[in-house]
Amino acid sequence: MAQTKPTWQPAPEREGLGPLTGLRDFIDRLAVSSPARLAVLTFSLVIVVFSFLLSLPVSSADGKVTPLHEAVFTAASAVCVTGLTVVSTATHWTFFGQLVILAGVFVGGLGTLTIASLLTLMVSRRLGLRSKLIAQEALNNSSRLGEVGELLRVVILTSAVIEGSLAVVLTGRFLTLGEGWWQSLWHGIFYAISSFNNAGFTPHSDGIIPYEEDLWILVPIAVGAFVGSLGFPVILGLRQGGLRWSRWSLHVKLTILVSSILVVVGGVLWGWMEWDNPRTIGTMNVGDKMIHAVFASIMTRSCGFNLVDQNHMEGTTQILTDALMFVGGGSASTAGGIKVTTLAVLFLAILAEGRGDPDVKAFGRTIPDGALRVAISVIVAGATLVLVGCFLMSAITSQPLDRVLFEVLSAFATVGLSSGLSAESPPAAMYVLTVLMFAGRVGTITLASGLSVRQRIQLYHYPEERPIIG
């Protein structure tokens, strides 16, 4: 018997809601037809709103209207939690402008599907079945649908608690360094939100370079960036399972294990390559060199705070940085890149193929073939975006490929490290980087979500035939 596709039916009219009923019905209709489209539309509207706010004269220090390409670039960089800038955050923007940027970082760090679910919750005062499914997918959580609304509240509360704790520590440190109470509070809050959401924006004109030996500044920022890069599914998993390894899900185990390995290996390699480089850490003592190496390893995978000039690094270090940026952080996190679980699944598949195992296994669990197909799709899509971005940026700027690749990867992986090319580029190149930031934050996540939930019922199979590979 042929199956009929369910059609959307408008919800019953509610007295007193007026236009909110139409907005709620529109969101429900779009959610049913395409959750990915809802995510893209939501993120696009958020960027448009913040672009408008940043273009206002009240947002700029000189009281003039900020050019459209600069406002759009900054808004996209904030909402996509990237941190790339074409104007100085400290000197170009007023307090209002910086507040808009910080709000964009906080909203963007929650993720597209989470924002869409919260929008539905605010408009209709409830989450329907489809909205709960979207929120469940956004959080990559297997909890019962009845708990999804509570999980969204937990996500907001968890973000606020972590950012608040970081802000307290950082504010106290800025006070001891001689800053005023209000300035210390603002800087503490700014760095707390920027680090946890892996944004990399800084309210200081010279960034955090003046604090390169201050562990009271560097450690909270690094901890916030690392925790934020793990992702809300991991944070929720740790909240439910505690510190007991046996109670962790496969996703939690893979994310924490691979993230830790990347921090250690990245730190060792970064420190080894830059150890004798006098333009970066070559003249420092052993302790400061190790601090710089670990900090750079954490920041390179998404957050984007830097203690050294990226143009002064060795060529091998830049290649390492490119690789770490492309990998990024955890799924459904504030970090970008192809995600550590994507890398883990692909590595496990290669290992299984090398051993001749029919299944891809990890920690006593079998990873389904569908997950491997999604991982391959995300990697190929990411590599394609980077390739196209490099082609367009090279054509527009005529800069060397290594510099273009660095900037394109930083935009796509929403890292925020820069060789200065973003600020030097013409408006056309800025728009290319803006699209890359948007695609990097929304595209691969949406692709992974869409592919993982789409399954077609097949009534027949073609005969198998193995092509020659390799």
DSSP string over 70-131: HHHHHHHHHHTT----SS-TTTTB-HHHHHHHHHHHHHHHH-HHHHHHHHHHHHHSS--HHH
Look at residue 166 in the predicted model and tell me its pLDDT.
96
Look at residue 145 in the predicted model and tell me its pLDDT.
41
Q: Which of 67, 77, 60, 114 is nearest to 194 (CA)?
A: 77
Q: pLDDT by residue for the chain (470 residues), tens digit each? A: 444 444 445 444 444 445 555 545 555 555 544 556 666 777 888 899 999 999 999 999 999 999 999 999 999 999 999 999 999 999 999 999 999 999 999 888 876 555 555 544 444 444 444 444 445 544 544 444 444 556 667 777 888 899 999 999 999 999 999 999 999 999 999 999 999 999 999 999 888 999 998 999 999 999 999 999 998 788 878 887 778 888 888 999 999 999 999 999 999 999 999 999 999 999 999 999 999 999 999 999 889 999 999 999 999 999 999 999 999 998 878 888 999 999 999 999 999 999 988 899 999 999 998 889 889 988 999 999 999 999 999 999 999 999 999 999 999 999 999 989 999 999 999 999 999 999 888 866 565 555 555 556 677 778 888 787 77
DSSP for 393-423 reads HHHHH---HHHHHHHHHHHHTT-----SHHH
- Phi and psi torsions of 60, nearest 5°: -100, 150
Look at residue 413 in the predicted model and tell me its pLDDT.
94
DSSP 8-state code for residue 60: B
- 467 falls within a domain: no
Answer whether 139's CB lies under 8 Å from 127's CB: no
DSSP 8-state code for residue 361: E
- 358 falls within a domain: yes
- 3 falls within a domain: no
Per-residue exposure over 376-407, b if at least 16 CB sit within 10 Å of its own CB, e if not: ebbbebbeebbeebbebbbebbebeeebbbbb
The boundaries of the domain holding residue 263 are 19-453
Look at residue 26 in the predicted model and tell me its pLDDT.
53
- 43 falls within a domain: yes
Answer whether 97's CB lies under 8 Å from 430's CB: no
Look at residue 85 in the predicted model and tell me its pLDDT.
94
Look at residue 17 in the predicted model and tell me its pLDDT.
47
> Residue for token digits 């199956």?
3
Answer whether 194's CB lies under 8 Å from 202's CB: yes
- 396 falls within a domain: yes
Maximum distance among all Cα pairs of the chain, rounded to whole angstroms: 76
- 240 falls within a domain: yes
Question: Between β-strands 360-362 and 365-367, what pairing exists: parallel, antiparallel or unpaired?
Answer: antiparallel
- 429 falls within a domain: yes
Total structural domains within the chain: 1
Look at residue 443 in the predicted model and tell me its pLDDT.
67
- 331 falls within a domain: yes
Q: Give me the chain's average pLDDT, please.
A: 83
DSSP for 168-216 reads HHHHHHHHHTT--HHHHHHHHHHHHHHHHTT----SSTTTTGGGTT-HH
